[in-house]
């Protein structure tokens, strides 16, 4: 029998029990894997102890999920369902997520380590907003009439791909799910989704609400499993026409390779980053410090757009470092239990991630950078790392070049605008950048010159479902959010109608 799990909490921010299924969600039902018996331990990163077990799927389960998704696309979804109806169901789904906001926030806190208040205000609220945004698009998928000659009527149709595969990361498991599910369902595709094996709980809770909202069976399916089994099966499946992946650049290459090796499925990739944050000497220093803390240490630094390379103009370097240091020390003092009201900084997601980040901190020390703040483990339980600042950093150092994906900042000094643009662009990544200046002309000039898919001027990580998101260079292919996301989930057909030409 498929299992269920429950987590009971009695904290200052959440009191109650969260129930969730632990099986696979296929064809609108909770099912056991074909090869039943194996499971995945889900761990609380605050303690390092297991909190649940979820079923472990395989390629066989992906095959079954694709078959039912294909059937649903042909018979009860896709072009057979008007956009208005798809939008209505998505709106209902958003309402249900909003209703259960506390439960989703609790799952994000205990499974990912996010502070409960942040998970509710940012991740869950952002998910609701994203689903509602794409619900509004569902009846606005439009082509256009194209003038040729008086003897031809020509127009375009934007049609769904059919079955799409989606692979979700562990750092924002609910929010990233909404970024992919929203546009895919809005445009009439059906889905086979793999959540991260480390953070599957909110996705499994989400599936319950998909059923409650009234989506036809088979439209949305979840197969739990590891990347090298379930993820690989999705990327290689011959009946999946598109795959969307968020994760590391290394794995993104494997996804792209698998698509090329099989049926040339369309691929969108949102990958790694090493985002520069450029602080000019005419910025609003107090606000700039605050925004840099937010852009770097949100989600314990486990964000692909973290502003992890801070370039500060020499005229205010000492003042910025002093202000940033004080802000980070205050932030570090709010490290602790994600369910405590004042917590701002939680644990890293796993032992593997903890070890990886500590390895980068050791590399920074070995390369000669100075640990200005932090650099050590916090506490004796769980996967907590102190917010860390490195100064005296050189561009060739490992901590200045590679994505750390943790609470580690490298601060460097610069003199001129031309110099900092060159330094900021000297990376294989191009996901985001940040520019701080009260000179609007300069701020925009620099934002335009930086090689990144998103530019944040005098602000931090403030993404919006209406604004496209994606990377340059090795940070990805394609865009999420906005009309651009709608375009990535549809294919264009040109229709030629003869109005009277005879042969």
Residue 149: CA atoms inside 13 Å, Cβ hemisphere, count?
6
Look-up of token digits 């580690």: 408
- Please give the backbone phi and psi of residue 354, each rounded to the nearest 5 degrees, phi first: -55, -50
Beta-carbon contacts of 275 under 8 Å, excluding residues fewer than 6 positions away, are 295, 305, 306, 307, 308, 309, 429, 431, 432, 433, 434, 452
* Integer Cα distance of 183 and 133 in angstroms: 9
Report the 3 state secondary structure along 350-384. CHHHHHHHHHHHHHHHHCCCEEEECCCECCCCCCC
Q: Residues with Cβ < 8 Å from 160, sequence gap 6 or more? A: 73, 78, 79, 187, 188, 189, 489, 490, 491
Cβ–Cβ under 8 Å, residues 330 and 457: no
- Identify the H or E element spanning 54: strand 49-55
What number of other Cβ atoms are within 10 A of residue 493's Cβ? 11
Q: 255, 245 in Cβ contact below 8 A?
A: yes
Quote the tokens at residue 116. 């409960």
* Alpha-carbon gap, residue 450 to 475, rounded angstroms: 14
* Residues marked as catalytic: 270
Q: What is each CA distance from 340 to 113, 266, 343, 407, in whole angstroms?
A: 12, 44, 6, 20
Residues in CB range of 166: below 8 A, 6 or more apart: 177, 180, 181, 184, 191, 192, 193, 194, 243, 244, 245
Q: Report H helices in 262-316.
A: 285-297
Nearest to 105 by CA among 16, 194, 168: 16
Q: Which two tokens stand for residue 324?
A: 């940033």
Which H helix or E strand runs over 441?
A: helix 440-449
Start-to-end CA distance of the chain, whole Å, equals 66
């Amino acid at each position: 029998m498929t299992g269920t799990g429950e987590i009971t909490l009695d904290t200052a921010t959440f009191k109650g029990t969260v129930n969730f299924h632990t099986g696979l969600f296929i064809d609108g039902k909770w099912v056991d894997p074909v090869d039943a018996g194996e499971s995945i331990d889900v761990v609380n990163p605050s303690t390092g102890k297991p909190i649940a077990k979820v079923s472990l799927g395989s390629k066989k389960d992906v095959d079954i999920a694709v078959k039912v998704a294909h059937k649903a696309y042909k018979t009860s979804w896709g072009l057979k369902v008007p956009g208005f109806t798809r939008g209505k169901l998505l709106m209902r789904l958003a309402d249900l997520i909003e209703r259960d906001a506390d439960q989703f926030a609790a799952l994000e806190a205990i499974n990912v380590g996010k502070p409960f208040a942040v998970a509710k205000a940012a991740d869950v609220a952002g998910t609701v907003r994203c689903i509602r945004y794409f619900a509004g698009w569902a009846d606005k998928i439009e082509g256009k009439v194209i003038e040729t000659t008086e003897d031809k009527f020509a127009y375009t149709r934007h049609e769904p791909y059919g079955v799409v595969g989606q692979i979700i990361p562990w750092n924002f498991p609910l929010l990233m799910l909404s970024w992919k599910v929203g546009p895919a369902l809005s445009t009439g595709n059906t889905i086979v989704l793999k959540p991260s094996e480390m953070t599957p709980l909110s996705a499994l809770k989400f599936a319950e609400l998909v059923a409650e909202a009234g989506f036809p069976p088979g439209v949305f399916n979840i197969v739990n499993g590891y990347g090298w089994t379930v993820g690989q099966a999705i990327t290689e499946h011959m009946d999946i026409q598109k795959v969307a992946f968020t994760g590391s650049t290394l794995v993104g290459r494997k996804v792209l390779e698998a698509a090329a090796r099989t049926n040339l499925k369309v691929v969108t990739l949102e990958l790694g980053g090493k985002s520069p944050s450029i602080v000019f000497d005419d910025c609003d220093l107090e606000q700039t410090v605050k925004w840099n803390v937010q852009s770097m240490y949100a989600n314990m630094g486990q964000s692909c757009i973290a502003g992890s390379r801070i370039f500060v103009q020499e005229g205010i370097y000492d003042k910025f470092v002093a202000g940033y240091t004080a802000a980070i020390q205050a932030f570090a003092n709010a490290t602790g239990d994600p369910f405590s009201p004042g917590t701002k900084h939680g644990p890293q997601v796993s032992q593997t991630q903890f070890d990886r980040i500590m390895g980068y901190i050791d590399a920074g020390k070995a390369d000669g950078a100075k640990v200005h703040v932090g650099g050590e483990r916090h506490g004796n339980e769980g996967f907590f790392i102190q917010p860390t600042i490195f100064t005296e950093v050189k561009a060739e150092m490992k901590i200045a070049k590679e994505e750390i994906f943790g609470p580690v900042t490298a601060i460097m000094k610069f003199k001129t605008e031309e110099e900092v643009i060159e330094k900021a662009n000297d990376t294989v990544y191009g996901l985001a950048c940040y520019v701080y200046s009260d000179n609007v002309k300069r701020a925009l000039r620099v934002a335009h010159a930086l090689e990144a898919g998103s530019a944040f001027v005098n602000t931090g990580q403030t993404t919006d479902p209406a604004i496209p998101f994606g990377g340059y260079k090795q940070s990805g292919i394609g865009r999420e959010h906005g009309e651009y996301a709608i375009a990535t989930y549809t294919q264009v057909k040109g229709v030629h109608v003869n109005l009277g030409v005879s042969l």
